[in-house]
């Protein structure tokens, strides 16, 4: 092998090695992007937000149609349109569930409408559909803790305090956060939660002081936390013990353990 060849070989190894590292870093960073967050992106990319409003939380008038609007997905209105999870799928794939499509009166009325729900069959992959349904379910509060449980109270408190603006619908999102360690705001039900929160005291530390000392004073974590534009707000003095306990109960419910 000539000297020149050796250099070329070394250069090749460096280039390929760097590509592998970049790819591995990318995979590691995106591994915990939640299904709900991917569904948000699907909804954005397919244009669902044109009719159902930004984030799916604002309706659009649909004069002439049976319901009179492309409804917001928020605020429990899904109960008027969706009987079960299968029907969410049918709305998206066929523009309405079979129950309505087989009703001649409904079909006749819909023909007079200026806007109707498009059917996306063939224009959406199975994986995209799964994520989109997860997103719709989170935004519409399709599944919530039992009425009048502490966890349900916690969900309401979290909503009032604005937690879901950053942590995504129901705390299930992973919104982007450039320059942060992982590149996103962690969800409350993600696999990386146990790294960030080891016990209930640490949940309190996050909410009251923007993080537990273990993380805030860790040299690497600290460097990232100082640089990230969106930080966990410090709610100390702006949250009661009662709200705190309820929110902790909600986070436990979300993570599926008592
Ligand atoms: C062109 C406007 C338009 C677009 C784009 C659109 N929808 Fe709709 N959607 C409607 C209208 C209007 C209705 C009410 C039923 C009807 O009149 O057809 C509806 C109803 C629905 C419903 C049942 C009612 C509810 O809101 O819970 C779901 C679920 C739904 N749309 C999901 C989606 C999803 C997901 C997307 C993107 C893949 C999407 N829609 C894109 C207009 C639209
Ligand atoms: C302005 C955006 C914002 C709001 C509002 C917000 N958080 Fe956070 N939260 C963050 C960020 C960013 C982090 C992660 C910090 C980091 O990257 O080090 C975080 C981390 C957390 C964590 C750590 C673990 C995890 O996986 O999420 C908990 C628990 C948490 N927040 C709870 C709450 C609660 C409860 C509320 C409402 C009372 C709330 N947050 C409101 C941005 C926010």
Q: How far is the CA of 19 from the centre of ligand 1 (A)?
A: 41
How many angstroms separate the alpha carbon of residue 206 from the centre of ligand 2?
Answer: 7
CB count within 10 Å of CB 180 equals 17
Mean pLDDT check: name the lowest of 27-36, 42-51, 144-153, 216-225: 27-36
pLDDT digits (tens, 9 = 90+) for 88-143: 999 999 999 999 999 999 999 999 999 999 999 999 999 999 999 999 999 999 99
Whether the predicted pLDDT of 62 surpasses 90? yes
Name every protein residue with a CB atom under 6 angstroms from any ligand 1 atom. Answer: 43, 46-48, 50-52, 62, 65-67, 70-71, 73, 78, 81-82, 88, 91-92, 113, 115-118, 120, 132, 136
Asked whether the beta carbons of 203 and 212 are under 8 A apart, the reply is: no
Ligand nearest to the CA of 44: 1
**pLDDT class of 2 with cuts at 50, 70, 90:** confident
Mean pLDDT of 166-189: 96
Q: Which residue has the tokens 């319901």?
A: 67
Q: Which ligand is nearest to the CA of 165?
A: 2
Among candidate residues 165, 149, 247, the one with its CA nearest the CA of residue 204: 247
Each residue of 181-191: pLDDT tens digit?
Answer: 889 999 999 99
Q: If you measure from the C-alpha of residue 73 to the centroid of ligand 2, how many angstroms do you get, rounded to a whole number? A: 24
Q: For residue 175, what pLDDT band results from cuts at 50, 70 and 90?
A: very high
Is it the case that residue 258 has pLDDT exceeding 80?
Answer: no
257 pLDDT band (50/70/90 cuts)?
low
Question: What number of residues does the chain have?
Answer: 258
**Among 46, 57, 53, 26, CA closest to 168:** 57
pLDDT at position 189, please? 96
């Amino acid at each position: 092998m000539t000297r020149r060849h050796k250099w070329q070989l070394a250069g090749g190894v460096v280039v390929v090695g760097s590509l592998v590292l970049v790819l591995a870093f990318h995979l590691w960073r995106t591994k915990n992007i939640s299904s709900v967050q991917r569904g948000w992106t699907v909804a954005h990319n397919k244009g669902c937000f044109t009719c159902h409003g930004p984030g799916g939380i604002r309706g659009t008038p649909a004069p002439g149609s049976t319901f009179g609007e492309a409804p917001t997905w928020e605020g429990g209105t899904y109960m008027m349109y969706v009987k079960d999870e299968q029907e969410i799928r049918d709305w998206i794939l066929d523009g309405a569930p079979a129950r309505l499509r087989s009703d001649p009166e409904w079909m006749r009325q819909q023909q007079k409408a200026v806007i109707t729900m498009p059917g996306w069959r063939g224009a959406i992959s199975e994986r995209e559909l799964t994520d989109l349904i997860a997103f719709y379910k989170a935004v519409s509060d399709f599944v919530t803790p039992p009425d009048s449980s502490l966890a349900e109270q916690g969900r309401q408190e979290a909503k009032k305090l604005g937690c879901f603006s950053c942590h995504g619908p129901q705390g299930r999102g992973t919104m982007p956060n450039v320059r942060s360690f992982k590149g996103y705001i962690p969800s409350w039900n993600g696999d990386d939660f146990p790294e960030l929160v080891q016990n209930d005291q640490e949940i309190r530390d996050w909410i009251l002081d923007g993080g537990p000392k273990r993380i805030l004073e860790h040299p690497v974590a600290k460097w990232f936390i100082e640089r990230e534009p969106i930080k966990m707000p410090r709610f100390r003095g702006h949250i009661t013990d009662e709200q705190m306990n309820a929110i902790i109960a909600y986070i436990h419910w979300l993570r599926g353990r008592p």
